[in-house]
Structure 1
Amino acid sequence: KTTPITGKPVEELYTLIGIAASTQDHTNRLVGVETEGMTVCPCAQEMVKSYSKDLLLEDGFSESDAERIIDIIPIASHNQRGRGTLLIGSEQPVRAENLIHIVEASMSSETYELLKRPDEFFIVNKAHRNPRFVEDVVREMLRNVIDVYPDLPDEAFVLTKQENFESIHHHNAFAERFGTLAEIRREFIKGEHVVRHTTLEQWLKG
């Protein structure tokens, strides 16, 4: 891919995943990808935002001016690399390139192996304008799958995972969601609460 501002070509490594299970009656197949991106913590950003507003008010700015300034300027937060995984099981062909785009677009920003300074500023600013928790990324992946593949049948299977390599903690953050598209659509489109979701093992067994 190319860097966002300077347009420099860079080589990126992605993991392609293929899973299949066969019986005498049928074969179920999944195609998936694993790729990395960047996430920014919304919680820490809100605290910095509140603190910055208090400083502006103490310095004599009006409430409305302080709010306007806070809305204009980027707000700091801690950020980290994240690794997203997306698997889709269906008889309908699914292109790995599209899955990579879905995963990267679901994070605060995509990342690049090599960056010039204008590119670095662009992705840092983009990420801090788009803060997301690890569970937000999983929800965005599912929402993007529904939008990008409206013709996938209800019996298709989707699994999404996100692991963030936390910068200020000694642990990583992890979120996962899976199920048939019928189950996922009921939650996202109809707003229903689905108590049990079909697991990968159950779907492969048919």
Structure 2
Amino acid sequence: MSACPCVQQTYKHTLSFDDNLDVSPGIPLLTHSQRCHTTVMLSGINDELPIVPLLEVLDTIIVRTQNTLPREYELLNVYRAHEQPQFMEDVVRQILMGVYNLFKETFPESSVKVSSLSMESIHDYDIISEIDIRLKDIDEFLSE
């Protein structure tokens, strides 16, 4: 799940012109959210993939949807998504860098493909963002 940064910025801009509108500090601004389908594929790994550390990294970057949640966890997930709004390209870049930082030493020859489909809630289109790159190519890019 992700939250749109555009509406939050528009709301923030609107608040700056109207003294009657107030938002408590620490509460994320209003915006719309969307369900996303994000895939991380790793190739060129000749060893056991440490899945738990990968999920821990992903959980710092995205809010994973779940089939059933108690209401307090629903609230927490919505809060987390709105506290850190992301465009799809941000999601893909952040996941790429999270995977890179996690595996650059242990699997430097591997490749990673990250794709994310955002099923937009208020628009009549969906958004797709994708990257496919070798970890060592990220090394070269970052060293420039």
Same fold (TM over 0.5): yes
Question: How far apart are 1:131 and its partner, in Å?
Answer: 0.5
Q: Is the 8 A contact 2:54 2:102 kept in 1?
A: no
Paired residue for 2:131? 177
Which sections of structure 1, spanning at least 5 residues, go unmatched? 1-37, 193-206
Match of 2:40 among 86, 90, 111: 86
Q: Secondary structure at the match of 2:121?
A: coil
Change (3 A) 1:47 1:78: same
Question: How far apart are 1:74 and its partner, in Å?
Answer: 1.9
| Whole-angstrom distance in 1 between the partners of 2:119 and 2:133 | 25
Paired residue for 1:10? none
2:9 counterpart of 1:46: yes
Q: Is the 8 A contact 1:85 1:103 kept in 2?
A: no
Between Structure 1 and Structure 2, whose CA radius of gyration is higher?
1
Please give the TM-score of this superposition, normalised by the length of structure 2: 0.85
| Whole-angstrom distance in 2 between the partners of 1:104 and 1:170 | 28
Match of 2:112 among 144, 155, 158: 158
Paired residue for 1:120? 74
Question: How far apart are 1:171 and its partner, in Å?
Answer: 1.2
For the aligned residues, what is the CA RMSD?
Answer: 2.2
Question: How far apart are 1:71 and its partner, in Å?
Answer: 4.4
Question: How far apart are 1:84 and its partner, in Å?
Answer: 0.7
Between the two proteins, the alignment pairs up a number of residues equal to 143
| Whole-angstrom distance in 1 between the partners of 2:56 and 2:119 | 20
Q: Is the 8 A contact 1:44 1:77 kept in 2?
A: yes
% identical aligned pairs:
27
Q: Is the 8 A contact 1:92 1:152 kept in 2?
A: no
Q: Is the 8 A contact 1:44 1:78 kept in 2?
A: yes
One-letter amino acid of the counterpart of residue 47, structure 2: Q
Q: How does 1:110-149 map to 2 (within 5 A)?
A: 110-149=64-103
One-letter amino acid of the counterpart of residue 91, structure 1: N
| Whole-angstrom distance in 2 between the partners of 1:95 and 1:167 | 34
Question: How far apart are 1:104 and its partner, in Å?
Answer: 4.3
Paired residue for 1:76? 30
Q: Deviations over 1:94-116 (max 9, x none)?
A: 13444444444432x22222122
| Whole-angstrom distance in 2 between the partners of 1:124 and 1:176 | 24
Q: Deviations over 1:108-164 (max 9, x none)?
A: x22222122222221111111110000011111111112222323432111110110
Which sections of structure 2, spanning at least 5 residues, go unmatched? none
Q: Is the 8 A contact 2:8 2:29 kept in 1?
A: yes
One-letter amino acid of the counterpart of residue 180, structure 1: R
One-letter amino acid of the counterpart of residue 93, structure 1: E
